[in-house]
């Protein structure tokens, strides 16, 4: 998996059931970072991104141990993934204002 970069910072994007949840996927994301959008990891119903091996491989490939995370929802997408990343030994910084709810 390839991590795109924003201002030199690796960026790993993922979505869950993107085709079934088009109203959740923010319009305009492709324009923010075309490379990250093109290489996003499409999960199928997995809430905790850390349970998707492709996502974990993409994060590991960045070589970073400090992560900045945001999610569509803070109480689901972000929370579970952040907790799992912490258990895996990563330093996690959550951007709560970036979440949809």
Q: pLDDT digits over 38-48, tens only?
A: 888 988 888 89
Residues 6+ apart with CB under 8 A from 86: 92
* Amino acid 51: pLDDT: 95
Q: What is the CATH number of the domain that holds 62?
A: 3.40.50.850
Q: How many domains does the chain have?
A: 1
What the block records as the tokens of 6 is 């924003």
* Statement: the pTM of the whole predicted model exceeds 0.75: yes
Is residue 3 among the annotated active site residues? no
Query: What range defines the domain where residue 24 resides?
Result: 4-98
Catalytic: which of 36, 59, 77, 85? 77
Distance CA 72, CA 95 (A): 11
Q: Which residues of the chain have pLDDT under 70?
A: 1-7, 21-27, 100-101
Residue 34 has, within 13 A of its CA and on its CB side, a CA count of 1
């Amino acid at each position: 998996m390839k991590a795109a970069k924003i201002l030199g910072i690796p960026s790993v994007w993922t979505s869950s059931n993107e085709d079934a949840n088009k109203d959740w996927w923010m319009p305009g994301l492709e324009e923010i970072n075309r490379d990250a959008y093109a290489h996003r990891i499409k999960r199928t119903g997995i809430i905790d991104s850390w349970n998707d091996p492709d996502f974990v491989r993409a994060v590991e490939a960045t070589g970073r141990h400090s992560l900045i995370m945001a999610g569509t929802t803070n109480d689901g997408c972000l929370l579970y993934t952040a907790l799992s990343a912490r258990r895996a030994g990563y330093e996690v910084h959550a951007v709560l204002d970036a979440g949809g709810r």
